[in-house]
Amino acid sequence: MAKPTAVETLEEMSQGQLLLKLEAVMKKVTAGLLTREKSKGKVSLTLEYERNGSSDSIQIKHKLAYSVPTLTGTLSEDSVDVTSFIGGVDGTLYISSRDRDEEEARSLSHKSTSGLVTHE
């Protein structure tokens, strides 16, 4: 397993529900702008990190908020959820300690063999 990318990390948040909600909200705001002939809507995603004591566990609170124009004003809504990750020494976020340990062991193995010089 390779180190997770930022997109893969976002896909893990709320077991994939965060990106599905983000897609739905983006469509809702766009449709609201086009059907109400208004010029502004807003979508925001806030990620708040918190370390669990002295462990490698990182809690990420993700808040998705939006506002869309209506006939009489603006409709606003937000949703908040938390996903737990394990932090790697390089800052990479893993969904489990096993994934992190395997990747870091692979990285150490690669570093120790990449410096070898062979003589014939």
Q: What is the pLDDT of residue 2?
A: 79
Q: What is the pLDDT of residue 109?
A: 67
pTM (2 decimals)?
Answer: 0.77
Given a contact cutoff of 8 angstroms between Cβ atoms, the answer to whether 40 and 73 are in contact is no
Question: Measured between alpha carbons, how far is 111 from 89 in angstroms, rounded to an integer?
Answer: 15
Q: Whole-angstrom Cα distance, residue 101 to residue 3?
A: 11
The tens digit of pLDDT for each residue in 18-48 reads 999 999 999 999 998 888 876 799 999 999 9
Q: Per-residue confidence at 1, pLDDT binned at 50, 70, 90?
A: low
Count CA atoms within 13 Å of residue 6 on its CB side: 1
Q: How far apart are CA 103 and CA 120, in angstroms?
A: 33
pLDDT at 73: 85
pLDDT in tens, 81-114: 999 999 988 899 998 877 777 776 776 666 655 5
